[in-house]
Amino acid sequence: MREAHELERAVGMQYYASDSDGTGGRLRESPADFRVTELEDFDTHPVDTDTGDFPWLVLRATLTGWDTNDFARELANRVGMSRERVAWAGTKDRHAVTTQLFTVRDLDPEDVPGTAASDAPEISDADVEVVGRAGRGLQFGDLAGNEFRVVVRDPERPEQADAVSADLEAFAGGTLGDSRATPARADRDAWRPAIPNYFGQQRFGSYRPVTHEVGLAILRGDWEGAAMAYLGNPSEHEPEESQAAREFVAETRNWADALEGFPNHLRYERTMLHELADGGSFRDAVETFPSNLQRLFVNAAQSYAFNLMLAARMERGLPFDRPVAGDVVWFAEETDTARAGGASDRDASSDSGVTVARPDPGREQRVTESRVDVMARHCERGRAFVTAPLVGTDTELADGEPGEIEREVLDDLGLDPADFDLPGEFDSSGTRRAILLRPDLTVEYDPLTFEFALPSGSYATVVLREYLKTSPLDL
């Protein structure tokens, strides 16, 4: 196995699945180089539907250079409401052009900034359209997936994309099984690589991966440790001014003086420092984050444990594309009608023809020795997925060797499912997640461009890291 970059190892991504050298290069030279379009899966009704039953206005926004949280805050400010009344299904990176749905409670269509019916000025670098109404707000995961088109700039070895693809097909027993048999790229319409479904670097912080450390401290009841993990922990990859401010607050715990040194763009840290300077507790400081970010801390701790479980499975040589005795498998959803930039009717066919297979948490099977072969055939045909846990209060760990891995990781982290019984937004009942991605992937070479779709919650950078094999800071 090829060892991953040191920053990736710090968040549990210990290895690559492919041994071939990468293409090199970098992503996101401009937002247009990284395009993301949601595959929508949300019930929407006509905009003139009764607001009593359908109080949420559904918007579709194409954003250039916007972080999802920042856009939601700007939209809320423009219409004079709390940011908590704006909801979305998946957080997108600001270094991209992204198209996604938002829901806003009790907003009239004519008040939406920048739309044809509105007198309000548009939000810069945001193209917003009214889609309809809904009976509830979007929740995290209320999408089938995302479609990506990503351009790689200045790759040193673009021809290596074929060798990496062959390695990744072989990782899950693909049709090639041997990178030496790589056909000429002109003979391939698309590859179907097999990639461990890691949580990507963005989950933890690209330049300063600390969100999981905050979450682990919360799970251990260490609110001071949680607050200081976010306020302190300077990274060599952030500006010197930010590093100095973090070093000062870690050394002095002088909240008022620390405010003088923290740059204005570190607004979450500044809000925490104001709370502490006013006599608030460390827990009060952590709870100044918006509710979705409070949840993110514990989610990041779950994600870190999940990544470690996948790395341990690779170390043991256990397969990802098929189960072994003790595994927990989820069957695929029976229907899959997601669309990119879709219409208001979830039963409509996809404009782009892109669909993604998704596991159904309501159709679980624990794999016994006698059922291994049967379940392997289901997985081979895309009808089922091997899973690992995102641990929470309701988690029942696997049996056999997969269960050994799960227990060892939790023991090493000092965690137990009961630890996730927490107050407020930090509580989590847990779930499971497929351990393998099998996207249909096309590659263009002038410039080097990758197109593929992934189910919701999966990361494009986890696919692309296999191809570039460069620092996650270049992803």
Task: In whole angstroms, give the CA distance from residue 285 to residue 225.
Answer: 12
- Residue 202 in any domain: the answer is no
Give the CATH number for residue 230.
1.10.1510.30
**Residues composing the chain:** 475
pTM, whole model, 2 decimals?
Answer: 0.89
Q: What is the pLDDT of residue 222?
A: 97
Note the maximum CA span of the chain.
67
Shared-domain flag, residues 260 and 406: no
265 and 133 within one domain? no
With respect to residue 203, please indicate whether it lies within any of the assigned structural domains. no
Domain match, 307 and 393 both: yes
Do 181 and 121 share a domain, yes or no?
no
pLDDT > 70 fraction of the chain, expressed in percent and rounded = 92
Which residue range forms the structural domain that includes residue 108? 42-141
The residue annotated as part of the active site, out of 19, 48, 70, 93, is 93
Provide the pLDDT for residue 136.
97
Residues 327 and 266 occupy one common structural domain: no
| pLDDT at 185 (0 to 100) | 52
165 CA to centre of own chain: 23
pLDDT, residue 176, reads: 35
Do 213 and 320 fall into the same domain?
A: no
Q: Which of 124, 121, 135 is nearest to 53 (CA)?
A: 135
Task: Check residue 326 and give its pLDDT.
Answer: 98
Task: Give the pLDDT confidence score for residue 355 in this predicted structure.
Answer: 76
Looking at the structure, tell me whether residues 427 and 312 fall in a common domain. Answer: yes
pLDDT digits (tens, 9 = 90+) for 372-394: 999 999 999 999 999 999 999 99
Name residues whose C-beta falls within 8 Å of residue 136's C-beta, 6 or more positions apart in sequence. 56, 103
Could you tell me which residues are beta bridge partners of residue 323?
none
User: Torsions phi, psi of 259, nearest 5?
Assistant: -60, -30
- Kindly give the pairing relationship between strand 34-40 and strand 97-105: parallel
Does the residue 58 lie in any domain?
yes
Residue 37, domain member (yes or no): no
CB 95 within 8 A of CB 34: yes
CA pair distance 170, 193, nearest whole angstrom: 8
Task: List the chain residues with pLDDT less than 50.
Answer: 174-183, 186, 336-339, 342-350
pLDDT at 344: 37
Residue 294 lies in a domain: no
pLDDT tens for each residue of 89-128: 998 988 999 999 999 999 999 999 987 777 778 899 999 9
Last residue of a domain, one of 93, 119, 141: 141
Distance from C-alpha of 262 to C-alpha of 280, rounded to nearest angstrom: 19
Tell me, yes or no, if 93 is annotated catalytic. Answer: yes
My answer on whether 151 and 134 are in the same domain is no
Return the CATH number at 137: 3.30.70.3160
pLDDT at 144: 92
The reply to whether 319 and 426 lie within a common domain is: yes
CB 197 within 8 A of CB 390: no
Is residue 186 within 8 Å of residue 434, measured between CB atoms?
Answer: no
Same domain assignment for residues 228 and 181: no
Going 47 to 52 to 54 to 59, the CA torsion angle's sign is positive
Residues with Cβ < 8 Å from 473, sequence gap 6 or more?
A: 7, 206, 207, 237
Total structural domains within the chain = 4
Let me know the angle formed at the C-alpha of 251 by 224 and 249, rounded to the nearest 5 degrees: 65
327 and 465 together in one domain: no
Phi-psi bin for 217: left (phi > 0), alpha (psi -120 to 50), beta?
alpha
CATH classification of the domain holding 333: 3.30.2350.20
Report CA 41 to chain centroid distance, whole Å: 17
pLDDT score, position 188: 63
**56 and 115 assigned to the same domain:** yes
